Amino acid sequence: MLLATVAAAAAPGVAADAAATSATIQLVLDKSISSSEEALVTFSIPFAAGVLHNVDELAIRRGDAEIPAYVEPGLLWQGRRHGVRSAVVQLQGVALQDGRALLSFDTRRLNSSTAPVPRLKKLAITSGYTRAGPQKAGLAYPRVFALLPPAYLAASALISPYKPGAPGDAFTRFADSHFDASAGTPFDYSKSAVADWLFDRATADYKRYMDSGRVEHLKEAFLAFRFYIRHIKQTDTPGTNCATQGRGGWFGLGPEEKCNDTKYTYVEPIKLHYALTGDDTWFEGTDSVKAQVEAMDVQTTRSNAEWGGSDCASASNQENYNFTERKCGLELLNHVNACTMYGGASCARAAATIAFLQDLQQRPKPFDLANGWVPLPGFFRHSWHKHECAACSDWNTAVGAGNRDDRRFSPWMSENIADALWQAYWQLDPTLVADHDQIGEILRRLAVAVDNFAFTTSPLGKRVPNNDLEHAPGGETWRIDCNTGPLPLYSASDIASPAALVATESADGWFSDMHSPELLTILAAGWYFERDPANRASLRKRAESIEAGFISHCTNSNDTRLRGTPRAWNWMMRSNGQRTWDWVTSNQAAPAP
C-alpha cells in the first residue's frame, strides 16, 4: 500500500515536490530458508529529488512506532536537483512471522513530538546473506528481501517515467511466461553463454521488479547482477587482455575475453542494484562503487577491438564511417547513468554523444548532398557494410562511394539510442548537459522514421509494387511462429533497394521480430514529443499492433527461436518499453514542453 499520493513525474530539472514521502516495506524471507529467526536485513530506498534532505529525517516504523535502524546516504541527486537519491537501511533482530513482516517508512522522523529512536551501528551486510545453489553459481544473496510498492518506485524517479502494470494484465502474463522460461529458476548461470548476458540481463530483471514488486524478480536481479559484475575487470581481478586494457571490461566466461568489446559494459545495473539493495560488497580491493562506475564509463569510450571502434562523440563526414546504434546507444547509457550517480566528466561525455547523434541524424553530409540523399530520413543512416564488419578494410572495393544499398539503419539497435536519450531527458538535470532541450526532437524524428521505414508494412517501406517486403520471395520465413503483428526488418532504409533489404533479411533476419517489444520504447518516446495528429495516430496504431500481435500472441510461446535465445529476455525488458508506452498514453504524463 502506498501511503502518500504519487504525483505525475516532474519536469526535467524540477524537484518532485508532491512525490511520495512514505510507503510500506514488506520483508520476505527467502523460500530456501526454513528458519525464521530474527533477521539482519540491509536494503535501500530510492527517493525523488527534494524529498529527503538528510538521512536523519528517515524513520522506519512497525505500526506507528519507530524501530531502531542504521541509515546512511547512498546516491545523491546531481545538478540543480537536491537531496538524497537513495538511503541504505539496515535493520537488526527483526522478528518475522511466517517469514514476513510489514513495516513502513516516512521522512517525518525529526518532526515528531517524541525523541527519535537512537540509530544502530552498522554490522557486516554479508552477515544477513546466504548462498545460492550451483545453478546460480553459489552466489551470496540476502536471506530476507525488502520489497517496495511499484507505485512508490515509479514515483521515486530512479528510472525514467513508467506506469506499473496491474497484476495479470497482458504484459504481466507475457513477461511472466518468458521469465519462467529464460530468466528465473530455469536459467542456469553455470551453463550460460556470454551472449546470454548481452544487453544487460541484470537491468532487465530490476525493471521487472520495479514493475511487479515481486520477490522472485528482485532475487533474480540481485543474483544476475552479482554474476555479471563478477566478470567485469576490477582491481586485482585476473585476465590477460583485461590486465592490460584497464578496468571496466567484461573478461568472459572462459578463454574468450571481451575487455575491449564494450557492448558488455553496463553502468545502469550498478545504479539499480545499489539504489534498491544497498549492497556494496561486490567490488574488489579498496575501491568504491563510485570508482568502479567511473572506471567502467571510461572503458566504454575505449576502442572496441572485436567490433571496431567508432567515436560516438565527434562528427564525421566520411561515407564509410564506422557506426552502430548499439555501440553508441550503450555508450550513451553508461555516460547518462554515471552522470546521474556522481556527476563529473561523465556528464560532458553524455553531452558530446548527444550532440554527435543530433549531427548524424539532422545534418546532411557532403556525400548526402552530392548524391541527392536528402532530406535525411530521421533515423541514423550509415554504412551497412561497416555496421556488419567494422574491422573490414574492403569498403572501397566491396561497396564504394555513392552506393545507395549501403545506406541503412538497424531498427532494433536504434532502441539502445532511444533508451539512452529518454533517460538523458528525464534523469539528467538540464544544467548537466548541453543541448538537453534538443533531445525531444531527436526522439520524435527517430520514432516517425521507425514507423515509416522499419517494418515490412511501413507506409514508406512498401517499395515492392502492389505488395510489401514480407511478401517478397522468402519473406514468409522471416517470422517467428507466434507473431501476428508488425515485422521489423533487420536492416531498413529510405533509399536502399528492396532487393538489398530482402537479401539481408533472408540471410540475417531470422530473429528480427523478436525485437518488437523493445521498439515500443522508440514509439513511446517519440509519441510523447510528437504534436502532429497524423503522426501521433500512426505511432499509436503501430504500438498497439505490437501489443496485440506480439505481446498477446507470444505469451507462453513455444517458438524454438524465441525460447532458444535467452538474451531475448534482456532486450525485451531492459528499456521497459511497454510500461513507458503505458505511461505516455496515460493521464499521468504531463504534456511535453
pLDDT at 6: 35
- pLDDT tens digit sequence for 27-76: 999 988 877 678 899 999 999 999 999 999 999 999 999 999 999 999 99
Mean pLDDT is lowest, of 304-308, 350-354, 508-512, for: 304-308
pLDDT surpassing 50 at residue 418: yes
Instruction: Note the pLDDT of residue 310.
Output: 66
Domain co-membership, 463 together with 521: yes
Question: How far is CA 198 from each of CA 228, 241, 312, 551, rounded to the nearest angstrom?
Answer: 10, 19, 20, 22
Which of 107, 130, 155 is where one domain is finished?
155
Q: Which of 155, 180, 198 is the last residue of a domain?
A: 155
**What is the pLDDT at residue 470?**
72
**Which residues touch 118 (CB under 8 Å, ≥6 apart)?**
68
| pLDDT attached to residue 146 | 98
Which range (11-15, 85-89, 217-221) has the least confidence? 11-15
Q: Do 83 and 182 have their domain in common? A: no
233 and 313 share one domain: yes
**CA atoms of 217 and 212, how far apart (whole Å):** 8
Number of domains within the chain:
2
Residue scoring higher pLDDT (471 or 520): 520
Is 89 among the domain residues? yes
Task: Check residue 243 and give its pLDDT.
Answer: 55
Bridge partners (DSSP) listed for residue 90: 42, 70
- How many Cα neighbours within 13 Å face the side chain of 309? 11
Tell whether 322 and 348 lie within a shared domain.
yes
Torsion angles phi and psi, residue 405, rounded to 5: -70, -15
Pairing of β 59-62 and β 39-46: unpaired
Residue 409: beta bridge partners?
A: 492
Pair 297, 272 in one domain: yes
Q: Are residues 293 and 376 in the same domain?
A: yes
Residues 488 and 408 in one domain: yes
Residue 164 lies in a domain: no
Least confident of 113-117, 126-130, 441-445, 521-525: 113-117
What's the domain range around 46?
24-155
Residue 56 is predicted with a pLDDT of 98
Distance from C-alpha of 71 to C-alpha of 44, rounded to nearest angstrom:
9
Q: What is the pLDDT of residue 587?
A: 76
386 within some domain? yes
- What's the rounded mean pLDDT across residues 289-306? 76
Rounded distance, CA 31 to CA 410, Å? 43
Q: Give the mean model confidence (pLDDT) for residues 148-174.
A: 97
Q: Provide the pLDDT confidence category of residue 7 given band limits of 50, 70 and 90.
A: very low
Provide mean pLDDT across the span 168-178.
Answer: 96
CA gap 463, 511 in Å, rounded: 22
> What per-residue confidence (pLDDT) applies to 409?
97
280/289 Cα distance (integer angstroms): 7
* pLDDT of 238 higher than 50: yes
- Confirm whether 161 is domain-assigned: no
First vs last Cα of the chain: how many Å apart? 32
Asked whether residue 217 falls in the same domain as residue 337, the answer is yes
How sure is the predictor about 589, in pLDDT bands with cuts at 50, 70 and 90? confident
**In-domain check, residue 296:** yes
Q: Are 377 and 468 in contact (CB under 8 A)?
A: no
Q: Which is more confidently placed, 251 or 10?
A: 251
**117 is a domain residue:** yes
Distance separating alpha carbons of residues 85 and 62, to the nearest angstrom: 23
C-alpha cell belonging to residue 569:
529476455
Q: State the CATH number of the domain containing residue 519.
A: 1.50.10.10
Q: Which of 109, 128, 155 is the last residue of a domain?
A: 155
In a domain, 15, yes or no: no
pLDDT at 17 > cutoff 70: no
- C-alpha span between 213 and 414 (Å, rounded): 29
pLDDT band at 476 (very low <50, low <70, confident <90, very high): low
- 145 forms beta bridges with 28
> pLDDT averaged over the chain?
89
Indicate whether 140 and 187 sit together in one domain.
Answer: no
209 and 266 share one domain? yes
Between residues 409 and 14, the one the model is more confident about:
409
Q: Which residue has the cell 552477515?
A: 127
Express each pLDDT in 327-372 by its tens digit.
999 999 999 999 999 999 999 999 999 999 999 999 999 999 999 9
CB-CB contact of 576 with 162 (8 Å): yes
Q: Are residues 430 and 506 both part of a single domain?
A: yes
Query: Which is more confidently placed, 558 or 7?
Result: 558
Q: For residue 588, is pLDDT > 50?
A: yes
Per-residue buried b or exposed e for 171-205, using 16+ beta carbons within 10 Å of the residue's own CB? bbebbbebbebbbbeebebeebebebbbbbbbbbb
Share of the chain above pLDDT 90, in %: 71
In a domain, 13, yes or no: no
Give pLDDT tens digits for 560-578. 888 889 999 999 999 999 9
Is the pLDDT confidence value at 23 over 80? yes
Q: If pLDDT is split at 50, 70 and 90, which confidence band does 245 have?
A: low
Residues 314 and 461 grouped into a single domain: yes
